[in-house]
């Protein structure tokens, strides 16, 4: 059973990895899409492991 702290840890990791990748990519639209993918991944991990 994961707590809300675990969710924020996943979210922080996703944002850090996303920010690292965004610096490597120049396309603005791709930056937005990748950021949303990482946030969605963090949310999915939270719900997948909290059940």
| pLDDT tens per residue across span 15-47 | 888 777 777 766 677 778 878 888 888 888 878
- pTM recorded for the entire structure: 0.45
What's the CA gap between 22 and 2, in Å, rounded? 29
pLDDT for 2 beyond 60: no
What's the CA gap between 42 and 8, in Å, rounded? 8
What's the CA gap between 5 and 1, in Å, rounded? 11
């Amino acid at each position: 059973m994961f707590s809300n702290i675990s969710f924020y840890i996943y979210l922080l990791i996703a944002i850090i990895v996303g920010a690292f990748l965004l610096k490597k990519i120049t396309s603005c639209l791709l930056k937005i899409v990748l950021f949303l993918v990482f946030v969605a991944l963090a949310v999915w991990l939270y719900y997948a492991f909290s059940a």
